[in-house]
Amino acid sequence: MPFVRTAVIKGTGPQQRQRIVDGIHQALVDSIGMPQDELFNLVVDYDPEQFFYSRTFNGVARSDQLIVIEITMRRGRSDAMKRELYKKIADNLGARAQVRPQDLFIFMHENDYSDWSVGSGKFAMELVQQLGNTSAV
């Protein structure tokens, strides 16, 4: 279950936020096989005077609309899967939210099941994963 924290410049409207979240989410579904109903994305604002960054680091021309995407998920995805994820995020946000790929700064934290509690204060390894809505027979 990835947890995503997305930082956008203050003043980003609700529709744009939704398009950004949807684009990131679909990239996770398409590239790492995340179930469709595993959506956890905390969108936060930053004031321009609170975030200092290089506009030219590594030859990338960044604007004042930089979006920071921080993904925390269970360890085990290959470099190829991560590369595909980053590309799909950039493609999706370009197409859905008109975000320049140069204005995306993405990084990942990996950990293990023992580092999660996803509900009811229970150790995640003790819970059976529920996929979507199921009905009792």
Mean pLDDT for the chain overall:
90
Q: Is the pLDDT score of 46 beyond 80? A: yes
* 121 or 29: which leads in pLDDT: 29
pLDDT reading at 12 higher than 70? yes
CATH of domain 3-126: 3.30.429.10
Residue ranges of alpha helices (H) inside 9-131 are 14-32, 79-97
Q: What are phi and psi of 45, to 5 degrees?
A: -95, 155
pLDDT at 129 over 90: no
Q: Is 68 helix (H, G, I), strand (E, B) or coil?
A: strand
Q: Quote the pLDDT of residue 137.
A: 36
Alpha-carbon distance 135 to 52, whole Å?
A: 49
pLDDT score at 105: 97
Per domain, the residue ranges of the chain are 3-126
Contact in structure between 110 and 32 (CB atoms under 8 Å): no
